Amino acid sequence: MAERITWIGALDPALRTFDVILKTANGTTYNAYVVRGSAGVAVIDTVKAPFTEEFLAKLEATARYDELTVLVLNHLEPDHTGAVAALLARAPHLQIYVSTRGLQVLRGLLKGAFERYDIRAVTTGDTVSLGDLTLRFLSTPYVHWPDTQCTFAEELGVLFTCDFLGCHYCDERLFNDAVGDFRFSFEYYFEHIMRPFRRYVVEALDLIEPLGAQMIAPGHGPILRATPEAYIQHYRRLANSRLAQATGGAKTLLIFYVSAYGATEQMAQAVCAGASEIEDVRVSLFDLQDGDVQPFVDLIEEADGLAFGTPTINGDAVRTVWDLLSSLVDIETKGKLGAAFGSFGWSGEAVAMVEARLQGLKMRVPEPGLRIKMYPGAEEEETCRAFGRSLAQHLTGQMAPREIDMTELLAAQG
Partner 1 sequence: MPIGKLTFEDVALTVSVPEGTRIIEISEKVGAGITYGCREGECGTCLTRIVDGEGNLSDPSALELRVLKENLAGHNDRLACQCKVMGGDVTVRPG
Q: Which residues here bind partner 1, judged by CB under 8 A?
A: 100-101, 103-104, 121, 123, 146, 334-335, 355, 359-360, 362-368, 394, 399-406, 409-410, 413
- Which runs of consecutive H residues, i.e. helices, occur in 209-287? 228-239, 263-276
Q: Which is nearer to partner 1, 28 or 149 (CB)?
A: 149
For residues 411 and 294, the answer to whether their CB atoms sit within 8 Å is no
Instruction: Compute the least distance from the CB of residue 409 to partner 1, in Å.
Output: 6
247 forms beta bridges with none
Q: Which is nearer to partner 1, 47 or 340 (CB)?
A: 340
Amino acid type, 135 = L
160 to 33, 43, 115, 216: CA distances (angstroms) = 9, 11, 27, 6
Instruction: Compute the least distance from the CB of residue 243 to partner 1, in Å.
Output: 28
CA proximity to 127, closest of 115, 139, 112: 139
Instruction: Compute the least distance from the CB of residue 31 to partner 1, in Å.
Output: 27
Q: Which is nearer to partner 1, 90 or 362 (CB)?
A: 362
Q: What angle do CA 168, 169, 170 make, to 5 degrees?
A: 125
Instruction: Compute the least distance from the CB of residue 364 to partner 1, in Å.
Output: 4
Instruction: Compute the least distance from the CB of residue 259 to partner 1, in Å.
Output: 24
SS (H, E, C) 215-235: EEEECCCCEECCCHHHHHHHH
For residues 69 and 130, the answer to whether their CB atoms sit within 8 Å is yes
Instruction: Compute the least distance from the CB of residue 132 to partner 1, in Å.
Output: 32
Instruction: Compute the least distance from the CB of residue 362 to partner 1, in Å.
Output: 5
Q: Which is nearer to partner 1, 119 or 223 (CB)?
A: 119
Dihedral through CA 237, CA 242, CA 247, CA 249, nearest 10? -40
Q: Which is nearer to partner 1, 8 or 353 (CB)?
A: 353
Instruction: Compute the least distance from the CB of residue 117 to partner 1, in Å.
Output: 16
Q: Which is nearer to partner 1, 290 or 403 (CB)?
A: 403
Instruction: Compute the least distance from the CB of residue 38 to partner 1, in Å.
Output: 33
Torsions phi, psi of 190, nearest 5? Answer: -60, -50
d(CA 107, CA 105): 5
State CA 105 to chain mean position distance: 17
Q: Which is nearer to partner 1, 38 or 359 (CB)?
A: 359
State CA 137 to chain mean position distance: 21
d(CA 107, CA 166): 26
**Residue 191: Cβ within 10 Å count:** 14
Q: Which is nearer to partner 1, 108 or 377 (CB)?
A: 108
Q: Which is nearer to partner 1, 166 or 338 (CB)?
A: 338
For residues 207 and 165, the answer to whether their CB atoms sit within 8 Å is no
d(CA 343, CA 241): 37
CA proximity to 278, closest of 195, 391, 192: 391
For residues 340 and 307, the answer to whether their CB atoms sit within 8 Å is yes
Q: Which is nearer to partner 1, 245 or 359 (CB)?
A: 359
SS (H, E, C) 47-65: CCHHHHHHHHHHHHCCCCH
